[in-house]
Each structure stands twice: as structure tokens, then as C-alpha cells.
Amino acid sequence: MIGGVSRNNAGLSADRIITEALRIIDGQGLRRLTMRRLGDALEVEAMAVYHHFPLGKEQLFDAIVEYITDVSRPRGTDAETDAGAEESDTEADGAAEDDRPWDERLRTWAHDYRAALLRHSGALPLFINRRPDTEAALRALELQYAAFAEAGLEGADIVRAASALEAYVTGAVIREVRGEGLASAQSAALDGRFGHVAHLGELTVDADQAFGDGLEALLRSLTSGTV
Amino acid sequence: MIGGVSRNNAGLSADRIITEALRIIDGQGLRRLTMRRLGDALEVEAMAVYHHFPLGKEQLFDAIVEYITDVSRPRGTDAETDAGAEESDTEADGAAEDDRPWDERLRTWAHDYRAALLRHSGALPLFINRRPDTEAALRALELQYAAFAEAGLEGADIVRAASALEAYVTGAVIREVRGEGLASAQSAALDGRFGHVAHLGELTVDADQAFGDGLEALLRSLTSGTV
DNA sequence: ACCTGAACACCGTTCAAGT
DNA sequence: ACCTGAACACCGTTCAAGT
């Protein structure tokens, strides 16, 4: 970033590659993200990507998942601005101390994580089967463990609560993405059978509201000793 | 199935193709399921598959998802036996009346669905972004709507409850699949930071038990009017 | 109706080469 | 160090042809 741009330096960087890959996924779908198309979008030969991700596409996928998981990263409108060194003023590294109550920290994380997943819902299939031991994932886990500990949980209860919270968010997002517009196409074929589905099929539910309500109920249930 | 086997009839059928595809997915992973490999496993030319799935691989994926979703289908040990016409004696079509209480019906569906997803966890990425308006999915939805109606819910509350239940199962399964063995690799890199993670990282949670407990809590919370 | 065989337009990745 | 260009072993899918 300091030196000049020589002939064979297209200004490629891992961040720029990830951002462009996400633009393709969001705009055209995961299946259309190919190394050659990615190269074209970056105005570079496809094989140049391998210099930044030597292990190939799988490593790029890992990086994309971590990028989305890192909900605390500052985001520009085009996600390409590099001017994001001003977030807390108290900590230099980004590990800012958060002195809000435990439930607000969890609420914020859940809503931010859901928003990130919805924003890049085309990348959702990448999240399955990818081990969550990245920096960003561990940061989120630490946040959750600390919050539930502050709420009074101990030991395995903390682990269970964090599992339930993460499962809730991903499950809710997947249901949201899968079910978009289910009500429209179905009413034709299901006259006699599926009476309840036919009857309730027209109902639409406010997804944001439903997510928020379910989150509150879950947090209550997790920290009240009934589970 | 009635006529004899002529020269150019390898005994291919949609069911046999789906079963073999799932065997490849379960054994080698989704990425290694290619039309050519599938043809080899079926001892047939790859292009023969297109006669049963004219729309190609995407249609095959749809069929695989529906196959897994249909948890009420009778299963042989090798899932290749065709002798499955004896399930209820009262209904011929498979739409057997279930006179158990609503909560037991939901419990059974949730545990069966989880088992099916875990059994074919390699196919999980296929479930995202695939509209759930198949026969099997509608049958499951009808089961859930009817049960929650019997539990006393009405209108949008029924829809929300069914959404929450489905989200719970898929979210729990994905977390289970993702998190397998997280505890092992992490303890190395996270000395100072991530104190809670380091401290709780060795704890293992019984996934079956956790799923059952969470399911009971969810059913209670959904049908007690607190959400 | 059901399957084959060759062909086409892609794909991920390797490797030697350029600057 | 960073990128190019050609090459290799694959893909999914189409299409004409066989029986």
C-alpha cells in the first residue's frame, strides 16, 4: 500500500478479492463464482488469485465465511473503503471493551450476525461443514461466553446457551431465505389435503419482528434456569 | 417394473439414482457427486441420468432434498428395498391418521427430521435457497399446522410456531455439524485473549440430550402464550 | 422408451515464464 | 513479489444415433 504500482502489480489484495467475490455471489449466485469470472471482475488473469490464496477456491471460501462472520468490522457503503481505524478510541486493536449489560451485547451480536447473513445469503451454503475456529468466530464465541457468564450461567450451561443462540440465528435466517414467497405458488395444488396449509398459506409474518420476539424469548429461557 | 429387461434397459429409476447419489454424498462429499461418477456407480453412461432428470443436476438436487425431507417414508437398511407398502393398514396412500396428542406428533417429526439431516449431513448445503414447496415439505407443514392448531394456537401464531420449530431443528443440526471437534484445535492459539473460550473449550455437550431439552423448552414456550 | 458416444463450452489448478 | 499464458484433467449438458 506504500510503494508505487509497478507493471505487474494490479493492486490485488486478499481483501479486494474477497469483496469482489462477494459482489459476484450477491449479484449472480454462488454457482457463478468461478476463478475466471472473478479474475475478469478484478481485471486480472484468473490465476493471479492463486498468489493470494495459494490453496485455491476452498481457501477463498474460508476467507469469505470469516469475512461475513466478522460482524464487528466497520463497513463502508461499498465495502471497499479502507478508512476504518476509528471505532472505539480506547483500544487500538479493535478488541474494544463493551461495558453494556450482557443481554444488550448478545442482542446486538444476534441482530448484526443475522443482518450479515441475510445480506450475503447466497454464501450461506459455505457456512455448513466449515469449522468455526477462525479469529472472527472465536471472537464471537468469547463475546457470548462472557455475556452468559455475566448472566449467571456456569460451565456447560454457558456452552449450551451459546450453542442455542447461534443455532437460533442461523436457523431463523435459513428459514427466512428458504421460505420467501412460499405462500404464492402453493395454493393451486393442495385443495382437499393440507387443509391447514391452504387456510394459513396467505398469512405473512413480519420476519424482523418474529426474529426479535423469538430472540427475546430465547434469551429469557436460557437465563432463567428452565432449560 | 412389469416388463422384461431389454438390451438397453439398465434398470435405472429415479429412486435408484437418488439413492446412489446419496451414497456418494454421504461417503465422499457433495463436491464429488458428479454426473460421470454417478453414472459409474450406477454402471451406466452418465448421460443416462438425464433421461430420468431432464433438467439435469439441479433437478436431481431438488429430488435429493425432497427425499431427505420425507421423513415418514419407510426405510430399509440399504434404502433400496421396494417392499414398503405396509405402514398403517388404515390408509392406502400413506396419509395415515395419527391420533397421538399434538406434542408427541411434533416431537416425533422433529427427532425424525433431525436424524434424517444428520444421516445425510453432506447434503445440507442443498437445503438452503431451495423452495420448500414439495409434497414432502407440504406434508410436514400440514402436520405442524394441525398440531399447533390442536394445541390452541390460531392464525399467524400457528405460522410463527411452525417457523420457529423448523428453524430450531435446522439450526441445531447445522451447529452440530459445524462444531464437531471445535474443542480440539483451538486451545493452542488463544492464550491471553478469549479467556472464557479457553476455559470452557474442553467441555463437551451431549448433542442428543441438548437437542431434546431445547425442543421441550421451545414447545413449551411456543404454546404457553409468552411469545 | 431408454441408453450410448462424441462433442462443446466451460471449470479448477499446475507450471514455466515473464517483469 | 506479483502476475501472465498455455496446458491438463476434469466438469455439465446437447445432440444425433443406436436398439
**What is the rounded CA–CA span in Å between residue B71 and residue B109?**
8
Average pLDDT, chain A: 85
Q: pLDDT, tens digit, for every residue of A21-42? A: 999 999 999 999 999 999 999 9
**What is the rounded CA–CA span in Å between residue A163 and residue A212?**
18
| Contact: B122, A129; criterion CB under 8 Å | yes
More confident residue, A57 or B94: A57
Predicted confidence at residue A150, as pLDDT, reads: 97
Q: Is residue A223 less than 8 Å (CB to CB) from chain B? A: no
Structural domain spans, chain B: 95-222
B224 touches strand D (CB under 7 A): no
Q: pLDDT, tens digit, for every residue of A116-164? A: 999 999 999 999 988 888 889 999 999 999 999 999 999 999 999 999 9
Which residue type occupies B167?
Answer: A
**What is the rounded CA–CA span in Å between residue A90 and residue A69?**
23
| Contact in structure between B125 and B30 (CB atoms under 8 Å) | yes
Cell numbers placing B38: 454417478
The model's confidence at residue A8, banded by pLDDT at 50, 70 and 90, is: low
Predicted confidence at residue A131, as pLDDT, reads: 81
Q: pLDDT, tens digit, for every residue of A102-120? A: 999 999 999 999 999 999 9
Q: Is the pLDDT of residue B222 over 50?
A: yes
Q: Is residue B168 less than 8 Å (CB to CB) from chain A? A: yes
Predicted confidence at residue B130, as pLDDT, reads: 87
Q: How many contacts, defined by CB atoms under 8 Å, are there between A and B?
A: 171
Which residues neighbour A102 within 8 Å (Cβ) at sequence distance 6 or greater? A146, A147, A148, A150, A151
Predicted confidence at residue B43, as pLDDT, reads: 96
Predicted confidence at residue A197, as pLDDT, reads: 87
> What separation, in Å, do the N-terminal and C-terminal C-alpha atoms of chain A show?
52
A-facing residues of B in 128-167 (CB < 8 A) are: 128-133, 138-139, 141-142, 145-146, 149, 155-156, 158-160, 163-164, 166-167
Alpha carbon of B145 to those of A175, A184, B21, B197: distances in Å? 16, 18, 32, 40
Q: Is the pLDDT of residue A201 over 50?
A: yes
Q: Is the pLDDT of residue B199 over 70?
A: yes
Q: Is residue A10 less than 8 Å (CB to CB) from chain B? A: no
Predicted confidence at residue A76, as pLDDT, reads: 55
B52 touches strand C (CB under 7 A): yes
Predicted confidence at residue A175, as pLDDT, reads: 95
| Contact: B156, A130; criterion CB under 8 Å | no
Measure B66 CA to D3 C1' (Å).
46
Q: pLDDT, tens digit, for every residue of A68-86? A: 999 988 765 444 444 434 4
Predicted confidence at residue A204, as pLDDT, reads: 84
Average pLDDT, chain B: 85
| Contact in structure between B118 and B180 (CB atoms under 8 Å) | no
Predicted confidence at residue A202, as pLDDT, reads: 82
Q: Which of B174, B176, B177 to mutate to test the interface with A (most CBs of A within 10 A)?
A: B174
A34 touches strand C (CB under 7 A): yes
Q: Is the pLDDT of residue A54 over 80?
A: yes
Q: Is the pLDDT of residue B187 over 60?
A: no
Predicted confidence at residue A148, as pLDDT, reads: 98
Homologous superfamily (CATH) for B95-222: Tetracycline Repressor, domain 2 (1.10.357.10)
B-facing residues of A in 183-222 (CB < 8 A) are: 185-186, 190, 193-197, 200, 203, 205, 210, 213-214, 217, 220-221
The model's confidence at residue B194, banded by pLDDT at 50, 70 and 90, is: confident
Predicted confidence at residue A191, as pLDDT, reads: 60
A172, A177, A183, A189: CA torsion to nearest 10 = -110
**What is the rounded CA–CA span in Å between residue A217 and residue A208?**
14
Alpha carbon of A66 to those of A20, B90, B127, B187: distances in Å? 15, 52, 21, 19
The shortest CB-CB distance from B196 to any of A145, A167, A196 is to: A145
Measure A98 CA to C4 C1' (Å).
66
Predicted confidence at residue A140, as pLDDT, reads: 94
